Structure 1
Amino acid sequence: MNLIPRSRATDWIVDARKFVDETPTSALVALTIGTVSILSSLGLFFTASPLTSVTLLVFLVSAAYGWIRHRELTARAVTMAMTASMILILALIVVFIFVEAWPAFDVARAEVFGISVPGLRLFVQTEWAPRAAERYSLVPLIHGTVMVTLVATLVAGPLGVASALFVSEIAPAAVREVVKPGIEILAGIPSIVYGFIGFTIISPWASEQFDLVGQGTYLFVGAVVGLMALPTVVSVAEDALNSVPESMKDGSLALGTTDWQTMTTITLPAAFSGVSAAVLLGVGRAIGETMAATVMLRNSPQLPEPLYNVFYGYDTLTSAIAAQYGEATADQLSALFAAGVVLFITVMFLSIGSQLIERRMKRQLGGHE
Structure 2
Amino acid sequence: MASRIVERFEHVRSRNEDAALVLLAVTALSLVAAFVLFYLQSRWTVVPVASFLLLTVVGWVKYQATIARGLTFVMTVATVGVLGLIVVFLVVRAWPAFDQMGLAALYRVEEPLWPPRPDSSWSLAPMIVGTLMTTVIATVVAAPLGVAGALYISEIASDTTREVVKPGIELMAGIPSITYGFIGFVVVNQFFYEEFQTSTIGNYFTVGTMVGIMALPTIVSVAEDAISTVPEAMKSGALAVGTTNWQTMKSVTLPSAFSGVSAAVLLGVGRAMGETMAATVMIPHTKGFADPVYDVFGGVGETLTTVIAFEGGNAGGRHIEGLFAAGVVLFVMVLVLSVSAQVIQARMRNKYGGDR
Q: TM class, shorter-chain normalised?
A: 0.7 to 0.9
Amino acid at match of 2:241: L
Q: Is the alpha carbon distance of 1:35 and 1:121 closer, same or farther for their aligned partners in structure 2, counting shifts above 3 Å?
A: closer
- 1:43 paired residue among 36, 50, 57: 36
Aligned pairs for 1:1-369 (under 5 A) are 23=16, 26-109=19-102, 119-126=103-110, 127-130=112-115, 134-312=120-298, 313-362=300-349, 366-368=353-355
Which secondary structure state, in structure 2, belongs to the residue aligned with residue 279 of structure 1? helix
Q: Is the alpha carbon distance of 1:242 and 1:224 closer, same or farther for their aligned partners in structure 2, counting shifts above 3 Å?
A: same
In the superposition, the TM-score normalised over structure 1's length comes to 0.85
* Deviations 1:55-110, CA, capped at 9 Å, x for gaps: 3333334334433433333333333322222221111111111111111111113x
Query: 1:366, 1:260 → 2: CA distance?
Result: 22
Mark the runs of 5 or more structure 1 residues left unpaired by the alignment.
Answer: 1-17, 110-118
Contact in 2 for aligned 1:122/1:136 (Cα 8 Å)? no
Of the structure 1 ranges 95-104 and 269-278, higher mean CA displacement relative to structure 2 is found in: 269-278
In the superposition, the TM-score normalised over structure 2's length comes to 0.88
Contact in 2 for aligned 1:152/1:283 (Cα 8 Å)? yes
Amino acid at match of 1:142: I
Mark the runs of 5 or more structure 2 residues left unpaired by the alignment.
Answer: 1-10
Of the structure 1 ranges 176-185 and 44-53, higher mean CA displacement relative to structure 2 is found in: 44-53
Shift of 1:198: 0.7
RMSD: 2.4
Query: 2:187, 2:137 → 1: CA distance?
Result: 19
Query: 2:19, 2:226 → 1: CA distance?
Result: 48
Shift of 1:176: 1.0
Contact in 2 for aligned 1:244/1:365 (Cα 8 Å)? no
Amino acid at match of 2:80: I
Shift of 1:293: 0.8
Query: 1:34, 1:348 → 2: CA distance?
Result: 33
Query: 1:271, 1:61 → 2: CA distance?
Result: 44
Shift of 1:289: 0.6
Amino acid at match of 1:128: L
Query: 1:166, 1:69 → 2: CA distance?
Result: 49
Q: Name the residue aligned to 2:3.
A: none
Aligned residues: 342
Query: 2:210, 2:322 → 1: CA distance?
Result: 27
